[in-house]
Structure 1
Amino acid sequence: MKRITTSLLCASLFCFSACSSNDTTTTTETPTNSEEAGGNAGDNYMNSATSGDSASTTMPADASAAGSAAATGTAPADMNANSAGGPTAPHSTDPEFMQSAAASDQNEIQLSKLALEKGVTGMVKEHANMMIKDHTKSTADLKAIAGKKNVVLPPDMDGEHKAIAAQMRKLSGKNFEKKFMEQMVIDHEKTLNTLKAHQQMTKDADLQGFISKVTPVVQGHLDMSKKHSDMKM
């Protein structure tokens, strides 16, 4: 009887141990799988959030780029072009054109006289003398036309070139010569553009003839200015 009781007790203990072991395995595996699944879900969410952050930062960058493109569009470019044109930009009336052309002549004449005062030599001196001669002739031709049309021409440089002349007075030697030749290029480019533009606009026969006569002279000045400006002083 004792032997049967002992056997039954051992069997019960074995069964309880096996069941307990199975329960433990089940409860430990399920949380592990749940945690792994939860971890993956968390990682996916963070990746999604990061992507969202990237998108949000990219959009302002794109918007900024679009803003920059708009800022550098046609309107600012046109404004810059007009500013760069200065006193020799295209004009809407014949009197304005004549006054601008006269000021342009004075710009070249007086800057060239300043160059001679500074004692420039060689090709720079030759260039300055040529500017004085040709632009004085241009002014005389323009005065004849302006007199017939009761247009008063300015006898002096424009304000921009008065300031340029003041800066150039502080220079000497090669520095002055370099600045002088660079300014000759800038001025003649503006003047040439203005002559061509106004020739297409004006209906005045006298001005058409004046522009046709002066344009090749200004073109020659520009070509020579570029050539001399590129040379080592």
Structure 2
Amino acid sequence: MGGALSLTIVALAYPTMLGFNKVSTAQDRVIAQTQWGPLTEQDRDFVVKVRAAGLWEYPLGKVALEKGTTPEVKEAGRHLIDGHAALDAACRKIAPMLNVTLPNVASPQQQGFVNQIETSSGKQFDSNFANILRTTHGSIFNTIAKIRSTTKNSLVRSLADMANDTVLDHITVMEKTGFVNFDQALFQQTTPPKLPDTDLTPPAPQPGAPMVVLSPPPNPTSTPIAIPGEQAGAGASPSPTIG
């Protein structure tokens, strides 16, 4: 899949501590040598993190189309669906090439965000949606820059390029809703809650469970990931979809 694979170890341990405030603690230890360059712990964790982000933000994009009270909130929902469907496809494409295990559900913390937003309505929904997603995107934005500037793996670098554009777009559309409290967002980004690792880590998928796929919208606008030397037709077999 995607060319010959040359890993120095057969399986990579499922990562831990993947909360958006934890990436800076990920070690630079190389865990595999691949044809696309060395893969570090933080490279692997980044791929998992991008996948986990889509598992909670993509469904909320659909909720925003139903419950958003303004055109701007609904438009932000469309951007979440489009962007995370494309990032999800990218993660599912490169994960088997790097022998990285992807989650099928988001972390408990992320699921808590979903519950808080979904259970609200009216202008409170709009406010919760815009502020929580602006804060989380603002936090991961710094992580993407760190990965992009340090990784020696070309597949991870391509994913970081794509994630950078997508997250900047999502930050922008959240701000355009007019509901973002910038003081609150900055405070929450710079002083994240200290949660146990179990709350910040998406659970490993059940053995043999089909991979969840985030279906793209009818007219997607996001550009697919560019894979150096990829073979036409390579890709993962889909499974249950969300969409």
Same fold (TM over 0.5): yes
CA distance in 1, matches of 2:22, 2:122: 29
Give the structure, 1 or 2, with the largest relative contact order (CA under 8 Å, sep 6 or more).
Answer: 2
- Other-structure match for 2:117: 168
Once the two structures are superposed, the pairs formed by residues 39-54 of structure 1 within 5 Å of their partners are none
Whether the aligned pair in 1 keeps the contact of 2:72 and 2:176 (CA below 8 Å) is no
**C-alpha contact 1:182 1:229 (8 A) present in aligned 2:** no
Query: Matches of 1:223 and 1:107 in 2, distance apart?
Result: 19
CA pair 148-183 structure 1, distance change in 2 beyond 3 A:
same
Equivalent residue of 1:182, what SS?
helix
What amino acid sits opposite 2:114 in the alignment? A
Find the aligned partners of 1:126 and 1:214 in 2 and give their Cα distance: 19
Point out where structure 2 has 5 or more consecutive residues left out of the alignment: 1-16, 28-40, 182-243
Gapped regions of structure 1 (runs ≥ 5): 1-81
CA contact (8 A) 2:137 2:171 kept: yes
In the alignment, is the contact (CA less than 8 A) between 1:98 and 1:142 conserved in 2?
yes
**Aligned mates of 2:167, 2:73 — CA distance in 1:** 17
Q: What is aligned with 2:87?
A: 138
Deviation at 1:231, TM superposition (A): 7.5
Find the aligned partners of 1:121 and 1:204 in 2 and give their Cα distance. 42
Aligned pair count reads 151
Report the structure, 1 or 2, having the larger strand content: 2
Query: Does the aligned pair in 2 maintain the 1:90–1:198 contact within 8 Å?
Result: no
**What TM-score do the two structures reach when normalised by structure 1?**
0.57
Q: Residue by residue, what CA displacement relative to the aligned partner does 1:82-102 show, whole Å, maximum 9, x if unpaired?
A: 998436656331221111111
Among 22, 26, 37, the residue aligned to 1:91: 26
1:189-217: CA deviations, max 9, x gaps? 11211111112232101111221233122
Matches of 2:52 and 2:18 in 1, distance apart?
17
Q: Distance in 2 between matches of 1:213 and 1:98?
A: 12
Rate the CA distance shift 1:215–1:165 in 2: closer, same or farther, 3 A: same
Shift of 1:175: 0.6
Greater percentage in helix: 1
Deviation at 1:229, TM superposition (A): 3.5
Q: Identify which of 166, 170, 180 aligns with 2:129.
A: 180
SS at match of 1:86: coil
| TM-superposition CA deviations, 1:27-64 (whole Å, max 9, x none) | xxxxxxxxxxxxxxxxxxxxxxxxxxxxxxxxxxxxxx
The CA distance in 2 between the partners of 1:114 and 1:95, in whole Å, is 30
Distance 1:207 1:184 in 2: 24
Moved more, 178-187 or 207-216: 207-216
TM-score, length-normalised on structure 2? 0.55
Greater C-alpha radius of gyration: 1
What do the CA deviations read for 1:91-139 (whole angstroms, capped 9, x no partner)? 3312211111111122311222232343544111111011111111011
- Mapped to 1, the partners of 2:97 and 2:180 lie a distance apart of 43
The corresponding residue for 2:58 is: 109
The alignment's C-alpha RMSD in Å is 2.6
